[in-house]
Amino acid sequence: MIRHWFRTLVSYLRLPLIAHADRELHDLREEIEFHLSSSAADHHSEGMDPRQSQQTALDQFGDVKTVVDDCCDVSLSRHLLWHRLHQLLTLGLVVAMGWLIWIYYPSENKPSSDNTQLAASGYRKSETTGDIKGTVVTEDGHPLSDTHILAVVKTWPPHGFRQNSFTAVTRPDGTFLIENVYPPGQEYEVQIAAIADAHLLKSEYISMRTGTLDPFHFQLTKSAALVLHFESKTGTPLAGVSAFPFERIDQSGQEHCIYFCSARPVVRQSNQAGILPMPHFLSGEQVTVYIQFPGGEWQTRKLTVPTDNQAVTLTPEPSSRLDDG
């Protein structure tokens, strides 16, 4: 396609002036023919026979060839400059368009450098260099591996607000690292939670600040064996109910919670018997859990953790869309 356009352009630029002369000659002959016919018709109307009227018209007009040649010379002298100028302008436009494509097309398709690309924080990647790192250990100081780290970073880039969630799992030595998630040179906030099987949910909240975060250190204690039992209003066990621990308040009054947007790695489902262990609280604590019955919306339930290890039975609320029939 491009090759065809290029050939057409070249043919036009190389078009000789004789092509225009042929067109002018054709137009002149048609005009002279019309003039002679009109003149002959006038003479015929005055009483001359057709042959005599045509001859008279020719005699009055003069030598047709000389008139045609003179008119063509005048026309060519008038159009020669404009024809060449138009060819030059067309060629100049093509060259300019080619230059613009050559200059701007590669720059438009070139991947942006890290210095200009925006990170999830809303700031440039070169600014978003802050890491979240730390260690999780047991009560006696042993590394706690396979602990879920759920972090939420809040930033305020120009004319906006960003909240992004990040997750990690501790290594065998109990350490974790989430790289390049906040801009040390800008204001930000961080909420981070650590949750491991058979251990208390713990979290920290870092309020508005700038600079680099110090490593986090979570020491998780053993928890009570809380078990949730889900059933319908008729007492039928419900399998496939989703749930995760949302909030607990420790004895000092400190709140420990998980943000909904970061909770996906710790969402669990009830088994065929409707049982779902949730060993992340202490006996007697007032806690909140998120649950979602099949076909229903996510909802929160406030519970008191039993002191006798009894299961806590939960049924769908009237607002739930579950059809337990």
The mean of the pLDDT values for the chain is 84
Q: Does the residue 91 lie in any domain? A: yes
**152 has pLDDT over 90:** yes
* Least confident among 44-58, 123-137, 181-195, 246-260: 44-58
* Least confident among 89-98, 117-126, 159-168: 89-98
Predicted confidence at residue 323, as pLDDT, reads 43
Please enumerate in sequence order all residues whose Cβ is within 8 A of that of 135, keeping only pairs 6 or more positions apart, or say none: 143, 170, 173, 174, 175, 176, 215, 216, 217, 218
Of 198, 219, 240, which residue sits at a domain end?
219
Q: Does the residue 284 lie in any domain? A: yes
Q: What domain count does the chain have?
A: 3
Average pLDDT over residues 220-232: 96
* 236 and 280 both lie in a single domain: yes
State the residue range of the domain holding 10: 2-109
**pLDDT tens digits, one per residue of 201-218:** 999 999 999 999 999 999
Of 44, 74, 109, which residue sits at a domain end?
109
* 40 and 102 both lie in a single domain: yes
* 243 and 146 both lie in a single domain: no
Neighbours of 107 (CB within 10 A): 7
Average pLDDT over residues 101-120: 69
For residue 267, the domain's CATH number is: 2.60.40.1120
Average pLDDT over residues 83-96: 71
Q: Does the residue 261 lie in any domain? A: yes
* 57 and 146 both lie in a single domain: no
Amino acid at 269: Q
Per DSSP, the three-state class of 102 is helix
Of the pLDDT bands very low, low, confident and very high (cuts 50, 70, 90), residue 320 is very low
Predicted confidence at residue 39, as pLDDT, reads 67
Helices 64-109 and 17-45, interaxial angle, to 10°? 140
Neighbours of 153 (CB within 10 A): 24
Of 150, 185, 219, which residue sits at a domain end?
219
Predicted confidence at residue 103, as pLDDT, reads 77
In this predicted model, which residue has the larger pLDDT, 261 or 18?
261
**82 has pLDDT over 70:** no
Predicted confidence at residue 321, as pLDDT, reads 45
